[in-house]
Amino acid sequence: MVVWRVDPPVKASQHSYKYRLAYIEKGVCVLRYDNEAGKGDHKHIGSQESPIIFNDAAHFRAK
């Protein structure tokens, strides 16, 4: 997991974080969260991509 505090926000995001979190198994990305510029907050599950609501960076911490 990588999180940066940015100013100004990444295009299409409403918060001051740029982030990426990926689970890769045997060289294949199984699950990824990121906020690519222009796409905003979203997740990838296999080849499917869908928007998410990002609350804060603590959202990604293991409990």
Q: How far apart are CA 43 and CA 14, in angstroms?
A: 16
Domain coordinates in residue numbering, the chain: 2-60
Residue 7 DSSP SS3: coil
Residue type for position 28: V
How high is the pLDDT of residue 60? 64
Nearest residue to 15 (alpha-carbon basis) of 23, 3, 26, 25: 3
For the full predicted model, state whether its pTM sits above 0.85: no
Q: How far apart are CA 51 and CA 63, in angstroms?
A: 23
Give the pLDDT confidence of 3-35 residue by residue, as tens digits. Answer: 899 999 888 988 899 999 999 999 999 999 999
